[in-house]
Amino acid sequence: MSAEDLEKYETEQELALYREYRDVVGLFSHVVETERRFYLCNDVDVQVRGEGAEVFFEIRMNDAWVWDVYRPARFVKNVRVITFKDVNVEELPAREIELPD
């Protein structure tokens, strides 16, 4: 496989992941960003652990979708993430179901 073929494959995988994201985003109520991953979920709990300079975050999510091009199953029932960097949690606006014409 040439470098050009590999780049084309990776581009196609990223485009497929974006399309999947676009299709499923309406099923979730929250977006969670960590330094390594991006998640969609319906339930999120962030706990600050430790003290002083030894602080870390424990994030628990239920009914999650993981933005990861190399992950074969992106839907996950329960996720627990430990991170030492900031966490960004956003509540998505409620969307009404849109029926096709």
Is the pLDDT at 98 greater than 80, yes or no? Answer: no
Q: Which pLDDT belongs to residue 50?
A: 87
- As a whole number, the mean pLDDT across the chain is 89
Residue 79 within a domain: yes
SS3 annotation, 69-96: CCCCCCEEEEEEEEECCCCEEEECCCCC
Q: What is the pLDDT of residues 48-71, one digit of tens each?
A: 998 888 899 999 999 999 999 888
Question: What is the rounded CA–CA span in Å between residue 33 and residue 10?
Answer: 22
Residue 64 within a domain: yes
Residue 66 within a domain: yes
Q: What is the pLDDT of residues 3-21, one digit of tens each?
A: 898 889 889 989 999 999 9
Q: Which domain holds residue 64?
A: 3-91
The SS3 of residue 34 is: coil
Q: Which pLDDT belongs to residue 45?
A: 97
Residue 54 within a domain: yes
Counting the structural domains of the chain, the total is 1
